[in-house]
Amino acid sequence: MPRKKTTTAEKDATPPPEGPTPIADVMAIVGAKIRELRTARNMKLQDLAQETDVSTSMLSLLERGLTAPSIGTLISIASALNATMAELVPVGHGASEKVVLRKADSAAVEAKHHVRTRLLKEDPARGVYVTINEYEPDTGSSGRQMLHAGIEFGYILEGELTVDLDGTSYLASPGDFISFQSRRPHRFWNHGKRITRAIWFNMYATGRPSTRNATDPLTGEDQGS
């Protein structure tokens, strides 16, 4: 049986090869925007690192779109640049109106300290970020505590998570709910022997933040919230 010839219309209908994933696209856009705002303010990487307590090597990776920042890190960078989160994360990429987000459509990203984050919803226009975080045993959000603008809520799905908050440690178990103002120094750590999974809500004002008192010299990078 002779092979059917492919028509021009059929060739045009062939789907294009897969390009970068949505996560990679957003990382590249966010990184380019951070660089643009930083240079517009005549700031060097070292200046931004000092303001945010994020290393220059990490900032360089962020600007090149080679790593995924945590929500806390993005908020700190936005504060240091006197910018809004909406300026860093374009609304068109963050304010999805999908009624149901399929698991296959939200890839997990492994951040520093081996915490895996799956972004469920990011809406910069309304100041809302929702993630599911997975903490391997003996991993956590950061080596040191951090503070940033906003308020956050967490719900433990499985495992146990130690919440170090403003000098006090709290052990949260499955079914426990966590809430606090993000300007209080905080850190999350899994001291257990099994994976901890938690759903996390970060909320912040959508107005332009002030760089004054936005960070603390003793705070560190927060990769879990």
Q: What are the residue ranges spanned by the domains of the chain?
A: 22-95+107-203
Q: Which residue has the tokens 């962020």?
A: 62
Q: Token digits for 89?
A: 């994360």
Note the pLDDT of residue 204: 76
Q: What is the pLDDT of residues 171-222, one digit of tens each?
A: 999 999 999 998 899 999 999 999 999 999 988 765 444 333 333 222 233 4
pTM value is 0.61
Around Cβ 89, how many Cβ atoms within 10 Å? Answer: 22
Q: Do residues 142 and 223 make contact, with C-beta atoms less than 8 angstroms apart?
A: yes
For residue 51, how far is the Cα from the chain centroid?
18
Give the least confident one: 32-46, 115-129, 160-174, 210-224. 210-224
Which of residues 49 and 171 earns the better pLDDT score? Answer: 171
Distance CA 157, CA 178 (A): 12
Residue 96 tokens read as: 């999805």
* Nearest by Cα to 124 from 221, 41, 207, 16: 207
Nearest residue to 146 (alpha-carbon basis) of 202, 78, 80, 72? 72
Measured CA to CA in angstroms, residue 97 lies from 117, 121, 122, 148 at distances of 21, 10, 10, 27
Backbone torsions φ then ψ of 6, nearest 5 degrees: -85, 125
In this structure, the number of other CB atoms found within 10 A of the CB of residue 43 comes to 16
Of the listed ranges 41-55, 63-77, 161-175, 184-198, the one predicted with least confidence: 63-77
Q: Which residues contact 140 (CB under 8 A, 6 or more apart)?
A: 113, 115, 162, 187, 188, 189, 190, 224
Q: Is the pLDDT of residue 105 over 90?
A: no
Average pLDDT over residues 129-135: 90
- Smallest CA-to-CA distance from 61 within 25, 34, 82, 93 is with 34
Q: Specify the higher pLDDT residue, 27 or 217.
A: 27
- The pLDDT score that the predictor gives to residue 39 is 92
Position with higher pLDDT, 122 vs 160: 160
pLDDT digits (tens, 9 = 90+) for 137-166: 999 887 777 777 789 999 999 999 999 999
User: What are the φ/ψ torsions at residue 150 (nearest 5 degrees)?
Assistant: 110, -170
Burial status of residue 77 (CB atoms within 10 A of its CB: 0-12, 13-18, 19 or more): buried
| Per-residue pLDDT band at 22 (split at 50, 70, 90) | low
CATH number of this structure's domain 22-95+107-203, picked from the four choices 2.60.120.10, 1.10.3720.10, 3.10.310.30, 3.40.50.970: 2.60.120.10
